[in-house]
Amino acid sequence: MEQNAEQLALFPLGLVLLPSTRLPLHIFEQRYQLMITECIEHDTPFGVIYAGQESTRTIGCTARIERVIKRYKDGSMDILCVGEHRFRTRATDSTSEPWFSAAVDLFEDRDLDRRDELAQLARDAVKQLELYAAVVGGSIEREALLDLSPQQLSFVAAASAMFSLEQRQQLLELQSAVERLTIVLQTLAGAVARRRMARAAQRVIGTHQNIEHLLN
């Protein structure tokens, strides 16, 4: 499903924002101070797009400002945003405003009707998250994760440190929730297996040895 949207202010960043995930930002550049101020005044979102080393991507995620954490005397500010909807840029504009903007198309996954399959994948993903937390000595909010829709869970899990920026961008662009959850599940299972292998090796080699290379 695609939906045409109005012109959207863009914020190119060296990160990937995913739907249903939160993003703290420090806004210091003057043009983006103006952009964020306008978004706050009109209660409108802005678009975050990944500006990688080679190129700036054309698919990003809208960010809704939840709150202003702190304002500074020089006009800069700390804000907290939440990712909402994915979009594809059609035509960029760098002349109308001090910041970049673009006409965009919002889009969703094409297989959300595969409810039973998605529900099972989501349960399996939460189980793998529990296993991973256990092997690293942490914990997860299991009930909170189970309350998420499978689509939301796929994005929240992909925001973890196990996924590189390029991997997150690839998952952001996928229009199949089943495929995205399958990739997330496989990545989580692989991370659990590597951690278990590292712990077993640690017991054999000894705690004084550096085994971080086993986790890559």
Instruction: Tell me, yes or no, whether 124 and 101 share the same domain.
Output: no
Does pLDDT of 112 surpass 70? yes
What is the structure's pLDDT at 195?
75
What is the structure's pLDDT at 215?
39
Phi, psi dihedrals of residue 175, rounded to the nearest 5°: -105, 25
Domain boundary among 107, 140, 160: 107
What is the structure's pLDDT at 137?
80
Token pair 């399959």 in the structure block, residue: 117
Mean pLDDT of 39-62: 93
- Segment 140-192, tens digit of pLDDT: 888 999 999 999 999 999 998 889 999 999 999 999 999 999 999 999 988 88
What is the structure's pLDDT at 213?
46
The closest of 23, 104, 30 to 65, measured between CA atoms, is 23
Domain boundary among 107, 141, 172: 107
What is the structure's pLDDT at 180?
97
Token pair 């998952």 in the structure block, residue: 171
CA–CA separation, 38 vs 43, rounded Å?
Answer: 8
Instruction: Tell me, yes or no, whether 186 and 164 share the same domain.
Output: yes
Token pair 């914020």 in the structure block, residue: 11
Q: Residue 24: which CATH number?
A: 2.30.130.40
CA–CA separation, 163 vs 205, rounded Å?
Answer: 28
Q: What percent of the chain has pLDDT over 70?
A: 88
CA–CA separation, 158 vs 171, rounded Å?
Answer: 8
- HSE (side-chain half, CA atoms, 13 Å) at 68: 14
CA–CA separation, 72 vs 26, rounded Å?
Answer: 10
Instruction: Tell me, yes or no, whether 82 and 12 share the same domain.
Output: yes
Host domain of residue 120: 115-215
Does pLDDT of 216 surpass 90? no
Instruction: Tell me, yes or no, whether 123 and 185 share the same domain.
Output: yes
Instruction: Tell me, yes or no, whether 103 and 119 share the same domain.
Output: no
What is the structure's pLDDT at 201?
64
Instruction: Tell me, yes or no, whether 97 and 177 share the same domain.
Output: no
Does pLDDT of 17 surpass 50? yes
171 and 158 Cβ atoms separated by less than 8 Å: yes
Does pLDDT of 211 surpass 90? no
pTM: 0.86
Which residue(s) pair with 10 in the sheet? 47
Q: What percent of the chain has pLDDT over 90?
A: 67
Say which residues have a Cβ less than 8 Å from residue 78's Cβ, sequence separation at least 6: 24, 25, 26, 27, 68, 69, 70
Predicted confidence band of residue 109 (pLDDT cuts 50, 70, 90): very high
Instruction: Tell me, yes or no, whether 131 and 83 share the same domain.
Output: no
Domain boundary among 64, 88, 107: 107
Instruction: Tell me, yes or no, whether 99 and 6 share the same domain.
Output: yes
Instruction: Tell me, yes or no, whether 15 and 59 share the same domain.
Output: yes
Number of domains in the chain: 2
